[in-house]
Amino acid sequence: MAEKNKLIEIRWHGRGGQGAVTSAELVAQAAISEGKYAQAFPTFGPERRGAPVQSFTRISDNEPIRTRAEILEPDVIVLFDLTLLTTVNVTAGLKKDGLVVLNTKLSAKEISEKYNIRGKIAAVDATTIAREVLGVPIVNTTMIGALIKATGAVKLESLKEPLVQRFGKIAEKNLQAMERAYKETAVGEG
């Protein structure tokens, strides 16, 4: 009997300069290195640093991915900046059993109460980790660590080569930030 294909669709929300596009690409590269099929792409309008940005990642266990359309009904939403919750409907289309991964100091319960987000929530203080490990508040690799902890979509070790290729000399610090976020991410119900 043929193995059932598992497809995970991830929609990343951030602001220009935070690394949402880079994160989507790095996760796709890690999936491909594991023998999976993957794609990553952004959606662009008149973006500038600080403007809302979306990017997308699809990962399939054993079938090529044929669609290149934006992800309207994601399994997972990764949110780099909580202020987007007041300007963009980031949870639009989230599947009933979907997951929201957030950069926040709040607990899943607090997030649910404050922002009316229901279901599975993964929270990590990615900004603090990035500042302490990288010296800058760029949360792309920390949010990847949170995503991996909450979903298991790819293995942490599969990110090492893409990080080295992308960041060169600072890859090791980015790997440390990702690993710390993985350890510190709290997954709960909202």
Distances (CA, A) of 116 to 4, 89, 91, 119: 34, 12, 10, 10
What pLDDT shows up at residue 105? 96
Amino acid letter, residue 80: F
Per DSSP bridges, beta strands 99-103 and 120-124 are parallel
Domain ranges of the chain: 7-189
CATH 3.30.2320.80 fits 7-189, yes or no: no
> Which pLDDT does position 1 carry in this prediction?
42
pLDDT of 135: 95
Looking at residue 45, its pLDDT comes to 61
| Angle 85-90-96 from CA coordinates, rounded to 5° | 120
pLDDT at 68: 87
Residue 109 has φ and ψ, to the nearest 5°, of -65, -45
pLDDT score of 164: 94
Chunked mean pLDDT (size 10), the chain, 190 residues? 75 92 96 97 72 94 92 97 91 94 94 89 97 95 97 96 94 96 92
Q: In this predicted structure, what is the pLDDT of residue 2?
A: 47
* Cα Dmax for the chain: 51
